[in-house]
Structure 1
């Protein structure tokens, strides 16, 4: 393409793209490090082909289940919980459970990476300050960024982060859950961590597979809670933070904490949502 040609995205509509044209379209998008901006959202460039395929071809079924979260709010933990709840009748022997040897991301694949069809939505969100700190650990430990802590923080505040802006992501699902509570279940990370058995029951009921009286008597809810605990997940071949609430105090300066609080207050004003 010569310098006089119009941008790729200007002369070909997205719905006209064929898979062999995805690369050119993706390369035409605004970028920031490992991210590409598409429809006002920052996606990891490596998943953009899956995002385009999903938008064009994905058709959900009424009985399917979708799990949605922004990054680093407890995604892997929730995947483990959902897999254990939904498939509990197929894995009665917890000593041989797939979660003992498999990463939850293998058992519950990503839509944008694996085109896995699901419908009902379970959504998890978390305090923005802990979310950012967890994101920073993930990026550094997986060599996903060359930016400093301060630079990464500024980008997060500007909305330039995986699937960001973070506040917009959370608000969009929270508002939908208020309008369609039978379709979308919103969970707050801190509450799930404080009362896991209470929320495991709530999740099971939402998914249409509530725990039976016999399962409760046998202590299955507690067994699943232990199976999906951070202590267990941290033993798998994957990087996990301990997921401690309030850990942000060990990393953020007072100025940073105040800045995130201000953004949060501004974004959530009048919505009724609280972190």
Structure 2
């Protein structure tokens, strides 16, 4: 049975990584089951799949991250509305601060992924140990693609001091479609044979061999957690957020303990925040048009803002591909007692 290397003594706040941890990770990684998918080597850890750079961040954050009861964790599968959820949550939580008013919001000048950092892809990437005091604002807002079953012990404690977790679920048909466009735009698909790579990725995705997957196990992990601990884990659907954004935003704010007052609603603050965080607004801001984000991999900022439409998969997946994935969703989610997606 695989085990995570035991944590070493705490590093100084400014130290980026520990050499002993680095050596332990290398030995740990060598022993994991591997699967190659379209040129990408994935390793299995606790039933889920990661490439090596991402897994290094996952293991480091599992060992070293210490949550606070005021923390907020935003969780998603890749390309499931993560950027939108980050922007909305940041705007909701910070709306009472004068420097974060709609007209002066940091969202107008910084990419949402810079304001709400990923744990495994950013703060702890490559075994880095961030300064624990680097985020002095409260509440601290973090994001992750890591499955619920693989979060750190402090995030899974379920006591009064554990943070709030928000999970945004998106129909895997659209999530996969968005992911393939994202890969293509960032040069992660071989330009000379994109069709073949797409077919291989799709087959692997349906078999559970995808980064942070199997997708059904990740979705069901957060779904089950929300049923067992609804005051600490909120499960949202991307499709509901699109269909009735005001109601979903108010539900999110209530869960985070900062619901909108009647006065705020009368003043149009809900609509103002929604407009600020809309895809149309964010994609046209200069801070999101140019430049890169240096996470585990270098990502073009503009590629986080494509369409965001529900049902766009019909323009990308063949009928046979859609039938296979829909059948898989029906099979995997049947025992949940409800249509999870």
TM-score when normalising by structure 2: 0.73
Instruction: Show the counterpart of 2:123.
Output: 114
Give the deviation of 1:158 after TM superposition.
1.1
Q: How does 1:145-164 map to 2 (within 5 A)?
A: 145-146=189-190, 148-164=197-213
Change (3 A) 1:88 1:19: same
Q: Is the 8 A contact 2:169 2:237 kept in 1?
A: yes
Secondary structure in structure 2 of the residue aligned to 1:215: helix
- In the alignment, does 2:269 pair up with 1:262? no
- In the alignment, does 2:21 pair up with 1:19? yes
Distance in 2 between residues matched to 1:46 and 1:232, nearest whole Å? 32
Q: Is the 8 A contact 2:168 2:235 kept in 1?
A: yes
Q: How does 1:55-204 map to 2 (within 5 A)?
A: 55-90=62-97, 91-112=99-120, 113-115=122-124, 119-146=163-190, 148-204=197-253
Q: Is the 8 A contact 1:36 1:45 kept in 2?
A: yes
2:282 to 217, 229, 233: 233
Distance in 2 between residues matched to 1:161 and 1:139, nearest whole Å? 13
Judging by fraction of residues, say which structure has more helix.
Answer: 1
Give the deviation of 1:20 after TM superposition.
2.4
- In the alignment, does 2:336 pair up with 1:271? yes
Instruction: Show the counterpart of 1:246.
Output: 311
Give the deviation of 1:111 after TM superposition.
1.1
- Structure 2, unmatched stretches of 5+, are 9-19, 125-134, 143-162, 191-195, 290-300
- In the alignment, does 2:43 pair up with 1:36? yes
Distance in 1 between residues matched to 2:310 and 2:4, nearest whole Å? 44
Secondary structure in structure 2 of the residue aligned to 1:37: strand
Secondary structure in structure 2 of the residue aligned to 1:88: coil
Distance in 1 between residues matched to 2:278 and 2:42, nearest whole Å? 31
- Structure 1, unmatched stretches of 5+, are 1-8
Once superposed, what is the RMSD of the aligned Cα atoms? Answer: 2.0
TM-score when normalising by structure 1: 0.90
Q: Is the 8 A contact 1:34 1:44 kept in 2?
A: yes
What's the CA shift string for 1:58-106, capped at 9, x where partnerless?
2222221111111111001100000000111124532221111211111
- In the alignment, does 2:51 pair up with 1:51? no
Alignment size in residue pairs: 266
Instruction: Show the counterpart of 2:267.
Output: 218
Q: Is the 8 A contact 2:48 2:212 kept in 1?
A: yes
What's the CA shift string for 1:187-221, capped at 9, x where partnerless?
00000011111111111110001111221111110
Q: Is the 8 A contact 2:94 2:100 kept in 1?
A: no
Distance in 2 between residues matched to 1:54 and 1:252, nearest whole Å? 35
